[in-house]
């Protein structure tokens, strides 16, 4: 799996802009010269088809991979072939969150793969000076992400079995509940073993790479942050190269509060966004619950705010943000957490 390392392109100017709408089986490609459409092509999402794309691009007068900006939405594994192709040709690739493109373009009528590709190309042209280049991550981070994702799938499957029993059990006959528990346990036990095995594999993988191991030791030195939380944070930030600021990570994880206002007369309560990376948010939530038991300063902070009348979940969210600030401060300074240093 490929993912993202970004470098800023401020000051660079491109002549050609290629918008690519990615689907599981196809790629819709539109080439713009400045803001003018040159051609449109649909190809299969297959490495063998990309050679034909290369040939057609090189037939365009003045085109080169160095003076063009390829832009696409983040589509997970579906983008692997095109990103590998662009990396092989040292092309400029910009991978953007779909919501960013939609917000930038405003209300646009019509919906098709061809239209979407055109919108992406237009977005690249209009925002070229804000572009951030994609580069492949290190193999060890790819492996870490795969193990973290596998653990999450095992956890979700286990929870699907246990939550059903816990929530519905009181409303069911006891003999039926007992039978369901027995049957479910036959699946839960292997899942628990699989989860432990993946966690051991993550620990072993981290130790194989000195750079990752050092980063892991720094992150886990923060109170409340264990192997699971550290693995998730390091994976989603690509070793803190994709996301370099605590505030941006808080937004990504859905724990950054936003004000809701209208003019000067209507003012709503600050609240977090529901558009978030739920696994990262859950990991931070568990870290916050842990740190309240073992960190005197944060425990005292939580108790004081609750006694002042603040909602418990609001205060707990503030604790999550403090954990994020501590993690990013330690990574920035390349040091382990010092209890005399309060964030």
What is the predicted pLDDT for the residue at 256?
Answer: 78
Task: Indicate whether 264 pLDDT > 50.
Answer: no
pLDDT above 90 as % of the chain? 58
Q: Domain holding 110: CATH number? A: 3.30.420.10
Q: How confident is the model at residue 243 (pLDDT cuts 50, 70, 90)?
A: confident
> Which residues pair with residue 42 across a beta bridge?
28
The three-point CA angle 110-112-118 to 5° equals 85
Q: How confident is the model at residue 6 (pLDDT cuts 50, 70, 90)?
A: very low
pLDDT higher at 263 or 307: 307
Kindly report, residue by residue over 210-222, the tens digit of the pLDDT: 999 999 999 999 9
Give yes or no: residues 339 and 215 share one domain: yes
Task: Indicate whether 238 pLDDT > 60.
Answer: yes
Mean pLDDT of 58-64: 93
Give yes or no: residues 80 and 162 share one domain: no
Kindly report, residue by residue over 279-304, the tens digit of the pLDDT: 889 999 999 999 998 887 888 999 99
Give yes or no: residues 226 and 295 share one domain: yes
User: Residues with Cβ < 8 Å from 172, sequence gap 6 or more?
Assistant: 180
Give yes or no: residues 215 and 343 share one domain: yes
Give yes or no: residues 22 and 131 share one domain: yes
Task: Indicate whether 263 pLDDT > 90.
Answer: no
Q: Distance (Å, rounded) from C-alpha 49 to C-alpha 57?
A: 13
Q: How confident is the model at residue 9 (pLDDT cuts 50, 70, 90)?
A: low
Kindly report, residue by residue over 164-180, the tens digit of the pLDDT: 777 777 777 888 888 88
Give yes or no: residues 127 and 176 share one domain: no
Mean pLDDT of 103-122: 75
pLDDT above 70 as % of the chain? 87
Give yes or no: residues 22 and 120 share one domain: yes
Closest C-alpha among 105, 111, 91 to residue 18:
91
Give yes or no: residues 192 and 215 share one domain: no
- Output the six-digit token pair for 174: 């006891």
Do the beta carbons of residue 119 and residue 206 sit within 8 Å? no
What is the predicted pLDDT for the residue at 4?
Answer: 42
Give yes or no: residues 228 and 324 share one domain: yes
Q: Among 208, 241, 257, give the residue marking a domain's end.
A: 208
pLDDT higher at 2 or 156: 156
Task: Indicate whether 251 pLDDT > 50.
Answer: yes
Q: Among 135, 169, 197, give the residue marking a domain's end.
A: 135
What is the predicted pLDDT for the residue at 205?
Answer: 98
Which of 13-27, 102-116, 129-143, 199-213 is the least confident region? 102-116
Q: How confident is the model at residue 5 (pLDDT cuts 50, 70, 90)?
A: very low
Residue 236 burial (CB count, 10 A):
19
Which structural domain, as residue segments, surrounds residue 313? 211-343
Give yes or no: residues 162 and 195 share one domain: yes
Give yes or no: residues 81 and 65 share one domain: yes
Question: How many structural domains does the chain have?
Answer: 3
What is the predicted pLDDT for the residue at 266?
Answer: 44
Closest C-alpha among 206, 208, 203, 196 to residue 151:
196
Q: Among 187, 208, 229, give the residue marking a domain's end.
A: 208
Q: How confident is the model at residue 276 (pLDDT cuts 50, 70, 90)?
A: low
Give yes or no: residues 102 and 149 share one domain: no
């Amino acid at each position: 799996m490929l993912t993202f390392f970004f470098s800023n392109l401020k000051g660079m100017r491109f002549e050609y802009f290629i918008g690519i709408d990615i689907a599981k089986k196809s790629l819709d490609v539109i080439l713009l010269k400045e803001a003018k459409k040159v051609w449109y092509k649909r190809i299969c999402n297959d490495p063998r088809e990309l050679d034909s794309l290369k040939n057609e691009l090189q037939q365009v007068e003045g085109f080169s991979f160095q003076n063009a900006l390829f832009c696409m939405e983040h589509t997970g594994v579906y983008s692997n072939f095109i990103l590998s192709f662009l990396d092989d040709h040292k092309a400029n690739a910009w991978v953007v969150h779909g919501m960013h493109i939609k917000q930038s373009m405003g209300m646009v009528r019509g919906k098709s793969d061809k239209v979407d590709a055109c919108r992406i190309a237009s977005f690249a042209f209009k925002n070229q000076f804000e572009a951030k280049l994609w580069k492949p991550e290190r193999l060890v981070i790819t492996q870490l992400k795969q193990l973290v994702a596998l653990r999450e799938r095992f956890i979700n499957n286990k929870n699907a079995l246990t939550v059903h029993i816990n929530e519905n059990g009181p409303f069911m006959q006891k003999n039926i509940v007992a039978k369901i528990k027995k049957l479910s346990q036959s699946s839960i036990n292997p899942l628990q073993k699989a989860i432990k095995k993946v966690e051991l594999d993550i620990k072993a993988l981290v130790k194989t790479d000195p750079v990752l191991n050092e980063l892991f030791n720094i992150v886990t030195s923060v109170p409340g942050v264990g192997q699971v939380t550290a693995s998730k944070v390091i994976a989603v930030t690509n070793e803190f190269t994709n996301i370099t600021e605590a505030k941006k990570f808080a937004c990504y994880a859905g724990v950054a509060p936003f004000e809701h206002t209208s003019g000067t007369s209507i003012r709503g309560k600050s609240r977090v966004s529901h558009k978030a990376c739920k696994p990262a948010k859950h990991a931070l939530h568990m870290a916050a619950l842990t740190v309240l038991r073992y960190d005197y300063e944060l425990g005292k902070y939580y108790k004081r705010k609750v006694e002042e009348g603040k909602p418990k979940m609001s205060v707990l969210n503030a604790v999550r943000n403090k954990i994020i600030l501590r993690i990013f401060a330690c990574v920035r300074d390349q040091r382990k957490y010092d209890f005399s240093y309060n964030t």
